[in-house]
Every structure is written in C-alpha cells, then in structure tokens.
Structure 1
Amino acid sequence: MAQQHRYGGYNFTSGDSDSDRRWDGARRTSAGNHVARLQTDLAELGTYSGDIDGEFGPKTRRSLRMFSWNAKSHSQRVANQSVVQDTHRFNGSLSSSLNPLLCEEISRWLKSDFRTTGDLIRVQAADFANIELSSGFRVLSHKAVQQGEIVISLGFLESLKFADQTAGTLSVKLFLNQAFRVNGNAVSGAVVPPATKSQHLIGHAIDCNIVDGGSWNTSSDFRNGNETQAATQFIDAMTKHGLRWGGNFSRPDTPHFDKRVNPDSDDYDFKFAFNQLSISRNQPILLKK
C-alpha cells in the first residue's frame, strides 16, 4: 500500500508530531520524519507553504484538506508546465486527516508529476455570437491570456453559453465589462463597491450591458424604469436558469450576473485560493471552446 511506503504506515490526526513520536493518535517507540515528509509532499503539490516542522497542526491539516478538495472538485492538473486532464476521479472524503485513500492519491499525483491548479479557463469572445467585449474590458494580465479572451471558472462556462444563446433568441447583445477578477485589483466603473467575497474572484460572475438596439440598458435606465422589454426578458431567463441578477441585491448592481457559490463554504474558500494562486504562480490557463 502506498501509505506503508510513504509515511511509515500511519494515519495522521490532530496532535500528531514527529518530535513526540506520535502518529495516528498514539505514542510510538521508533523515531521517524513521517509528518515532515507529508509536509514536503504537500508543498511540492502546491498546498502547503509553512515550515517543515513535523507537526500535524492547523496549517498542515488545512493544506491536506485543500488537496483533497482539489482532487475531488475538478480534473485540471498542471504537469510539465501544461494543463492536463486527469481521467482518475478521487472518491475519498474531504478530510483534514491523513487516511489510506488520501495517501494513495498523493502518491499517484507525485508519480504522475501533477501539481494543483484552479479551474480557470480562457474562452474567446469571438466564439460567442452575441457577446462582445466593451471598451472598458480589461484583459487579464497573464502570460497565457491574449487579447479578445475572457477568463472564467470552468464551472461558469455553461452559464456563459446560456447567456449567449438567450441573448441571440432575444436579439440583444451582451457587452462584457468584467469577468474573473484578480484579488486586490482596483475595479473601475463599478456600480457598487465590490464585495469582499465577490463571485468575480472565483470566476463565477460577469458584469455586462444588455444592448437592445440603441439602448444600453444602463444602471440609470433600470433605476428610472427605462429598461427595454428584451432586457427584462433576458434577466427573467437568466434567473429562471438558476443565476442571480445583481438588480435584485439589497444594493442593486444591475450589470451583474453570477452562479453563486456560498462565500462561507469550503467550495468558495478553496476555489478562491486555487484560482487566485494560479494567477500569482503564473500557471497555464486552458483555452476552452
């Protein structure tokens, strides 16, 4: 079993420590650097950045949980400086403790030379019949991203395709002002102050104008009741499809649509971490059709 080979055959839980010779919740007679080896492996995989101190404390437990979430949530990995699709599906639990399934998964990743990444993708605006980039759209500053490309989460791609199809049905155009946003970057032209845990920060949101003939259906138009019928129909279709419209927020943000992930959940926390890290680490971003 991979676990026998890598970490002395032990599971790890809170309080385990190499210095105390404590593994799997019990004191042992033989010495070893089993937790330190796990920390080294997790650092190589991209989820641990603390000291290699052999203590199975909060940072190590969180990094292990991050790894298990990444292995379960999507199939994108980085290998040899490229994004690859992992055909194996990890069926273990989301865990902060080391167990045999997680150990085997870590060993498999290291053998395959996989590294963690987010689920960001690039799509070309030209591939959408009814979506264009506004003059104020800022192309993401990243070595992989080209002019005319939109960066979103893979989990938002179906929603963007639905928006494009719905716009075509209603004979309107969507002019995108913003999609994925790098944390800390200033937002120009925002209708309301950006949320601390915005869906833009994980790639699950767009801001756009619904352009109907000569009307751009601006925030002022909505505020004054001058939006067009087609814009109202587009919003209705999007919300019925399970998306949120910012015009329904307590502080209305009429250009905004998102596929909400609970900002207080592991899904948001870890998607935020991996998608933002993929930018700061300058990892490749897959071009998706």
Structure 2
Amino acid sequence: MSNADPPGTPDTSTIGGLLAAACAQLAPAHSTARLDSEVLLAHVLGCPRSRLWAYPERRPARGQTARFRALVARRLTGEPVAYLTGTREFWSLPLRVTPDTLIPRPETEDLVELALERIPADTPTLVADLGTGTGAIALAIARERPRARLVATERDATVLAVARANGLHLGIANIEYRTGDWCAALSPGARYRLVVSNPPYIPTGDPHLAQGDVAFEPGTALAAGPDGLDAIRRIAAQARDFLEPGGGLLLEHGYDQGDTVCRLLATLGYQDVEDHWDAAGQPRVTVAIWVPATGPRET
C-alpha cells in the first residue's frame, strides 16, 4: 500500500492496485469497467494488456500513474475509451479515431463480410464507400481484396484526413480518398460493382443520442432526419447513376429500419432486395441489385 492509500484500499502504486481502484470507480456506471481500466492503463504504459496480468506488482512511473488517473476521471464523465486512447480496432486493423469521427462498431464488420462475398479476389473491381469516416469499411475491403480499387468519400475534409492517415499507416494503397457529399464525390460516368455505406440513421429526436458513448460522437455521423432515413434515401437515389448493371448497393441501418429500407429500395427500382441480420439477430444490412430499366423511374 502506498502512503497515499487509506488502510484496506488497493496499493495504487502498483499495476494491480491501480486497476482494482479504477474498476471500483468505474463499475457503478460502466459494465465494461475492468476492460476499460485495462485498455486505458495499457495505453498509458505502452504495453499489451497481457503485460498487466503478468506483472501486477510492477510500479508505473509517477507521471504514468497521474495520466492514467486523469483518463479514468474522463471515462467517469462518459467519454468513450476510443477517444481517450485515440484508437479502435476494426477487422483486426488498428485505426486512429478522433472526436471528429464516428467510432467503428463491430456490427459494421457484417457489412464488410457481405461486400467481400460480392468482390472477386482475382478481378479488378471498382467499389465506392460513401461517408467513410475513419476509413474502416474501405480499409477492411481493400486489405482483403488488393486487386479492387476503392473510392472513399467523406464530406468533412478533417475526417477524410483521418481516413487517409489510417491508410498510410496500414500501408493500404488501393484506395482513393475524395471530399464530397455521398455520390457527389464520384466521377460522372464511373460505374461501380458495389456502393457501400454506413450512413447516419438515427432519428434526430432519439433520446439515445444524449446517452453513453454516443453523446460524445459527432451528431452529423449519427442522425439523419425525423425518421433517421434522410441519408439512406439520398444515397439510394444517387447510387443508381453510378452502379454498373447488376451492381450492388449495401447499406447499414438501424435494427428497426430493415423493412422500411427494403421497401424504399424496391420503390426506387432495385431488385433482389434482401435484409441481413447481425450476430445479435437484428436486421442490420440491406443488399440490393441495380438493373437499369427503360422508361421513367422514381426519384
């Protein structure tokens, strides 16, 4: 026990004691208190989490202890761990994140898997990722399909710079980064095998926007109109001018929006519209095929 610790409390001069104290602080508000504490301390010490378990008796430097306690205090206010560390893993890729970017979620990996099923490994293929954010989707696809050429669009140049930096750090070169709103950044006349997107889809009045990690994330990356579907409507309408015949549109959406999104795409003339479920058994990604038809079409 350190001189600063009252009797009966963990020795917070050691790794084990620091973790125990942080867990006790975070547990009332966060079900992931132990994981959060380990991730934050490993970040401060610059070591893997396994090192914390192996050497709980080791004593961090005083400055490291102070920095860790400061991060725990910020986590107590609800600030996401990904913003505190500046990183989040997606598809086994370490990605830089900032408060300007949406934090990549594990369920979005389902969108990547569905895209990869539709991209031949040995054929040059053109794919667009709209609203790329950190670049998570585009980078995962580009890593798995090195012969594919991806165009990642983002309307916020500051956010796009984060995606570009992630690509450089990971050594993934088959992505072109463009500033622009959805399909407006795509070249006129270009035709894509796939257009994929994880757009904002939360209704603007949803109370969840003020709760948990989401409260700290950029609202423009989360909310899209009264029913949450404004961005999806725009993407679905615009993508028809950029998909090759038989090309696919893949859209992530909210758990309760699947039927509505399927009907929207069918109304716009898409065919073979299907909803796909995530690991939690919730509708998460809608896939549709674009086959141009003659005559007027819905807008």
Report the TM range for the smaller structure's normalisation.
Answer: under 0.3
Structure with the higher helix share, 1 or 2: 2
- Output the TM-score relative to the length of structure 2: 0.25
Indicate the structure whose relative CO is greater, using CA pairs within 8 Å and at least 6 residues apart: 1
